[in-house]
Chain A
Amino acid sequence: AQTVTQSQPEMSVQEAETVTLSCTYDTSESDYYLFWYKQPPSRQMILVIRQEAYKQQNATENRFSVNFQKAAKSFSLKISDSQLGDAAMYFCAYRRREYGNKLVFGAGTILRVKS
C-alpha cells in the first residue's frame, strides 16, 4: 500500500521569506502523480502544484516549486516570497495515474506566516 509522510506538523515563516515543506512517500508503482494541496481556514481544498513521476523536471507554479527526488521518494514544496495568504494547512498527496484512483494524503503541515 502507498503511504505519504509529512514529518513537520507545524512550520513558521516570516513574510517575504522562503520556506520548505517536506514530504516522503512509499510506493512500488512507477507511474503516478504527486500533489501539494492547500487548505485555508475556509477548509476548501486548493491544488497548489502537481508533479508527474515520469517527468524529471521539477514542477513550478509562480512562487511555488517542488524538489522531486524519485529515487529517494521525496517531494518537498518550496514557497518563495511568503505572503500572509499562504497561511494554511498543506497536504502532500499521491495518486496512481489511472482514472478512479484515490488520493493518499499525508498528515499535513500547518504553515504560519508572520508579518
Chain B
Amino acid sequence: GAVVSQHPSRVICKSGTSVKIECRSLDFQATTMFWYRQFPKKSLMLMATSNEGSKATYEQGVEKDKFLINHASLTLSTLTVTSAHPEDSSFYICSAPRADLAAFSYEQYFGPGTRLTVT
C-alpha cells in the first residue's frame, strides 16, 4: 500500500537553531502535501498546504517565516522550523493524497510523525 515517510522521527535541538523535517511519498507522486501540528491528546492542526512548484499556502496564524515549507519534487516536501524555541516543541505530521482510481477519488496517507523537542 501507499506509504508516506517522515525523517527524522525524533529530534532534539537547542533554542535558536533550525531543524528540517522531511516528508516523502514512497510509491506515488503528490503535487500537494499537508503539514499538521499536534499537541498531546489534541487534534491535528493544519499548518500549511505544500504545493509542488509553487509557494505553500499557510493557515491563519501560522508564521510563514518561522515554518518554511519547500515542495522540492513530486515526492518530497520539507518543513524547516527556523530559530526554534521551546514553544515550538510538538508533534509534526505530514500527509499526502494518493489517487484511488477505482473510487474516482483519492485518500490521504499520513506519515508517522516527527517529535520535536526544543531545549
Instruction: Using CB atoms and an 8 Å cutoff, list the residues of chain A in contact with chain B.
Output: 33, 42-45, 47, 50, 52, 89, 91, 95, 97, 99-100, 102-103, 105-108, 110
Cβ contact within 8 Å between B110 and A44: yes
Residues of chain B within 8 A of A50, CB atoms compared: 107
Q: Which of B65-101 contact A (CB under 8 A)?
A: 91, 93, 95, 97, 99
Residues of chain A within 8 A of B91, CB atoms compared: 43
Residues of chain B within 8 A of A99, CB atoms compared: 32, 97, 99, 106
User: Chain B contact residues (Cβ within 8 angstroms of A): what range?
Assistant: 20 to 34
Q: Is the interface of A mostly helix, strand, loop or mixed?
A: loop
Query: Residue A43 contacts which of B95, B99, B112 (CB distance < 8 angstroms)?
Result: B112
Query: B12-48: contact bitstring with A at CB < 8 Å (1 yes, 0 no)?
Result: 0000000000000000000110100010011110100
Residues of chain A within 8 A of B119, CB atoms compared: none
Cβ contact within 8 Å between A45 and B42: no
Q: Is the interface of B mostly helix, strand, loop or mixed?
A: strand
25 contacts across the A-B interface (CB closer than 8 A): A33-B105, A42-B112, A43-B38, A43-B91, A43-B93, A43-B112, A43-B113, A44-B113, A45-B44, A45-B93, A45-B110, A52-B105, A91-B43, A97-B105, A99-B97, A100-B49, A102-B34, A102-B46, A103-B44, A103-B46, A103-B108, A105-B44, A107-B42, A107-B43, A108-B41
Instruction: Using CB atoms and an 8 Å cutoff, list the residues of chain B in contact with chain A.
Output: 31-32, 34, 38, 41-44, 46, 49, 91, 93, 95, 97, 99, 105-108, 110, 112-113
Residues of chain A within 8 A of B95, CB atoms compared: 45, 103
Cβ contact within 8 Å between B105 and A108: no
Kindly state the separation between the CA atoms of A47 and B49 in the bound complex, as whole angstroms.
20
Kindly state the separation between the CA atoms of A50 and B46 in the bound complex, as whole angstroms.
20
Residues of chain A within 8 A of B38, CB atoms compared: 43
Cβ contact within 8 Å between B43 and A108: yes
